[in-house]
Structure 1
């Protein structure tokens, strides 16, 4: 399979077989100087908004790569969408969750400043953290050859979550919950998975989110790490949604 390069500045909507597409900037520099792409090799280029074009490379320079398109692939906007509400966690555990969730097909990510979160995004650190997650998501999209880049929103507090998730079916991953996630049947609404930090969600947070319509569900009888729970739940729901 050819490598995927992303250039969100490209307008690929009207590109057809036989057209030439040029990738410039850092993405082209990486392709040419790091990946050592050469004329004649096949690559794919995406705009991050649902379209990927593929073809053989016809020209390479330091910060420019051109290919002649011979294939066009379009993905519709997913329906229903999958949102991961990932609590901030210490070390790189939240980042591991975000990376794996992206590879597995999540459509939107909401960083959550949970009550038990050790890591804190405050002041300038909030945008820096969001940008870091967005970069991880972008690289995971390239690795998994996805046509759409999931949105990474600004960090949310527990108080803000109900409004952020308005209209979505909210599933709270709570060890010991009565309902297993495998028993959930999609009802047409977008789905949001809420994953707590190390130590899980505070009981008052669970109650607040339940009052806002959240449904506690469990993943098996064990307790998964915060880095594992979200991706595992996305895998379960992907089967239920017919994505896999």
Structure 2
């Protein structure tokens, strides 16, 4: 069984405190003699045998093994049209579980949920917290970075000259027919779909994953899984 993961800053000395320490000591009730994994979210990890806990949030341990994982290739950035309410966190959770390297919230032409003013920082922080927890649960040593939201015009500039694949139910090409580059932008549209004018604006390559029409919260995860088996990621 894999070891529980906890996030701390490098260098990983075997000590855990703060919110993550509280989660380990008070919530998970990790006790001396047990082993855990400490990660910095950027690939560095340490396998630690717990030697002592004190108070509600301090854990100390002996580093048994440590290393740095290589980032998977191809690198996949998920561009997720912002879904409504709880579907947003589900989309981030599933994308993180299936290996997204970065996540960009996208305000598409048909996006209903709008982030403005103080909501921007609050929602980005919420997505990042969801990504952190999903990374820990899925035993990842890399935590995907959640960027600030972008409009379609901004997205056009970001993906210019890059391989950008947009999941589209009317696409003629299957993702398995695409020669994958070392860096991929996987674009997931809103609940209402991506209009023809917006598709032309972005200049991305439309691809389909299969005969079914996926919901916006699950599409990125299925796309990442397909890329995983079609490349060296899995």
Both proteins in one fold, TM over 0.5? yes
Q: Distance in 2 between matches of 1:145 and 1:101?
A: 14
- Provide the residue aligned with 1:230 in structure 2: 220
Partner SS state of residue 160, structure 1: helix
Partner SS state of residue 53, structure 2: strand
Matched, 1:29 2:22: yes
State the 1:78 CA deviation. 3.0
- Provide the residue aligned with 1:56 in structure 2: 49
- Provide the residue aligned with 1:186 in structure 2: 180
Relative to structure 2, which stretch is displaced further, 162-171 or 104-113?
Answer: 162-171
Q: Distance in 1 between matches of 2:126 and 2:76?
A: 21
Q: Distance in 2 between matches of 1:106 and 1:174?
A: 19
Query: How do residues 163-178 of structure 1 correspond to structure 2 at under 5 angstroms?
Result: 163-178=157-172
State the Cα deviation string for residues 160-189 of structure 1 (Å, max 9, x = none): 00222344200011102110112112133x
Contact kept? 1:99, 1:136, Cα under 8 Å: yes
1:216 to 202, 206, 229: 206
- Provide the residue aligned with 2:35 in structure 1: 42
Distance 1:167 1:60, change over 3 A: farther
TM-score (normalised: structure 1)? 0.91
Matched, 1:11 2:5: no
> Which consecutive unaligned segments of at least 5 residues does structure 1 have?
13-19
Q: Distance in 1 between matches of 2:233 and 2:181?
A: 15
Contact kept? 1:176, 1:221, Cα under 8 Å: no
Q: Distance in 2 between matches of 1:202 and 1:234?
A: 23
1:202 to 195, 202, 208: 195
Contact kept? 2:43, 2:142, Cα under 8 Å: yes
Partner SS state of residue 186, structure 1: coil
- Provide the residue aligned with 1:152 in structure 2: 146
Relative to structure 2, which stretch is displaced further, 88-97 or 168-177?
Answer: 88-97
Q: Distance in 2 between matches of 1:208 and 1:184?
A: 21
State the Cα deviation string for residues 4-55 of structure 1 (Å, max 9, x = none): 0001x3323xxxxxxx511111110111111111111111100111111112
- Provide the residue aligned with 1:83 in structure 2: 77
Partner SS state of residue 159, structure 1: helix
State the 1:219 CA deviation. 1.6
Tell me the C-alpha RMSD between the 2 structures: 1.3
Contact kept? 1:185, 1:240, Cα under 8 Å: no
State the Cα deviation string for residues 87-144 of structure 1 (Å, max 9, x = none): 0111221221111110111101000011111111111101111110000000011001
Q: Distance in 1 between matches of 2:84 and 2:22?
A: 33
Contact kept? 1:55, 1:67, Cα under 8 Å: yes
Q: Distance in 1 between matches of 2:124 and 2:59?
A: 30
Q: Distance in 1 between matches of 2:220 and 2:129?
A: 19
Q: Distance in 1 between matches of 2:161 and 2:96?
A: 22
Relative to structure 2, which stretch is displaced further, 145-154 or 90-99?
Answer: 90-99
> Which consecutive unaligned segments of at least 5 residues does structure 2 have?
none
Q: Distance in 1 between matches of 2:85 and 2:196?
A: 24
Q: Distance in 2 between matches of 1:170 and 1:178?
A: 16
